[in-house]
């Protein structure tokens, strides 16, 4: 039987490269869930909405990452399989070019990756 699977369209580019998601990879595994979540987050601004519900007592002139940035990063960590959160510092040290999944996690939280 030949199943026709259409690609998932409408995904934003990552690092200037087009993103194409297909569902005909058989036993092939990928990090597509993180890409899909990043796209949903970008469009629906879930982290921003949640952040507006949280009072941030930090001194504004010392803030590096907003509450929304931290919530978005945490959501992507969970989707990438790091649900216990104890790998955040190690993951932050990995260059995105060496591990594509990191590019998805970093978009929007590290200053050098902001658009």
Tens digit of each residue's pLDDT (9 = 90 or more) over 35-77: 778 778 888 999 999 999 999 999 999 998 899 988 988 888 8
Left (φ > 0), alpha (ψ -120 to 50) or beta: where does 23 sit? alpha
Count CB atoms within 10 A of the CB of residue 102: 22
Could you list the beta-strand ranges (E) of the chain. Answer: none
Beta bridge pairs of residue 21: 8
The pTM of this model reads 0.61
Sign of CA dihedral 96, 76, 17, 42: negative
Domain boundaries along the sequence of the chain: 32-113
pLDDT band at 79 (very low <50, low <70, confident <90, very high): confident
């Amino acid at each position: 039987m030949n199943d026709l699977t259409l690609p998932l369209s409408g995904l934003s580019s990552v690092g200037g490269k087009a993103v194409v998601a297909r569902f005909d990879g058989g036993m092939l595994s990928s990090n597509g869930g993180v890409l899909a979540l990043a796209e949903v987050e970008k469009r629906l601004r879930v982290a921003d909405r949640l952040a507006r519900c949280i009072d941030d007592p930090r001194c504004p002139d010392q803030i590096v990452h907003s509450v929304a940035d931290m919530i978005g990063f945490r959501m992507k960590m969970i989707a990438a399989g790091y649900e216990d959160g104890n790998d955040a510092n190690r993951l932050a040290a990995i260059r995105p070019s060496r591990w594509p999944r990191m590019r998805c996690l970093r978009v929007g939280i590290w200053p050098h990756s902001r658009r």
